[in-house]
Amino acid sequence: MTTELTCFTAYDVRGRLGSQLDTGIAYRIGRAYGEYLKPRRVVVGGDIRQTSESLKLALAEGLMDAGVDVLDIGLVGTEEIYFATKYLEFDGGIEVTASHNPIDYNGLKFVREESRPISGDTGLFAIKELAERQPWQDPSHEQVTKGVYSQGSTLAAYVDHLLGYIDLSLLQPTKLVVNSGNGVAGHVVDALEKIFEERGVPVQFVKVHHQADGSFPNGIPNPLLPECRQATSSMVKSTGATMGIAWDGDFDRCFLFDENGSFVDGYYVVGLLAEAFLQKSAGEKIIYDPRLTWNTEEVVASCGGQAILCKTGHAFIKERMRREDAVYGGEMSAHHYFRDFAYCDSGMIPWLLVLELLSVKRVKLSEMVAARIAAFPSSGEINSKLAQPKESIERVLERYKGQAVASDYTDGISLSFAEPMGQWRFSLRSSNTEPVVRLNVESRGDRALMELKTAEVLAVLREERG
């Protein structure tokens, strides 16, 4: 009888160690990946979690038994796998990581040739089915020559690629607080620091929780949570730094702090990065998600770009970027995608671009962000756990749709309003994995209106029905 593997999600593998994921399951997933995609060469790597190395080696064994040659590039972030797959012209890449999930979890992130994503409807569920069925256990299953395992590094080429996004000669004297959260960002920061020193770039790094440590003595790195921001914020203030940067465990997301130690919401970072690219090359296309939009749209229009709305989620953003040949795509959740990075997300490219932008404009980060927040104050994403999410969303739609001057259903519902008291909009969407509804509200230049309407929509959404 086939046992279902519950560690598969729509986009990756993520599971509790022991009950949902172990070395046996990792082997089966590697074998299934090889059987389904039939790649010749696959690059693998892993984060610092204490089980990542054993899971990675089991995964590699499964790949090799499917006839795949495996290159292990060691302790790396997810984006280093994206880079290596494209740079080496391999047929796929797999990172062992649980990112910001609890310490008793681990997982896998997959790409295929050219670092194209693999999601449920593009092969991941087929891999799941093979891993559950294990057809290779049948004596009549086709035998293949076992693949070869080797080790290597693409760090130097990866760092060189990162530096291609900016002009080091433009950088002004700067002090940066960098918080790796005891994840795997530290070795990349060290490599960048060495190059800066060699080339006389006046950037000083102040390192917080820098050493990779799979026990996570300072907590799981997830700077989206307010309780995970204090160390970075305090160090920025105490050292007089220009900017703070913190990463999650596999550093595919970075989070910025201004010179006052204040956290910069990801929505406004999308606008900063759009401006950074459009200053270099006007007319480019920028992809953005529907949750909060007005700031991004105005920045892109004022810089001579073309803003293109896309459904939230990395598979949708990457696919739309390829179709449009967009230079950049951004989500308010701190995922930032780049055409020249195989349309993949990176947690290193964003802060480099913002650093260059601050140097070119000769302004403080707080000044740049404050102007955008004043123009388009927003609620940030508010989650509501509801017994009947669908019915709750319908209730809100029924209450507001007649008053809306514009509506959009790209991802959930987005309604815009022009009332005597001002202009505002909201976005409402359901989680794919839990009974949670996510609300975002913004206004044009009126914080009080945004706060009033946020409370109003939430009251309708959370209304108890007997």
Active site residues: 99
Is 174 within 8 Å of 243 (Cβ atoms)? yes
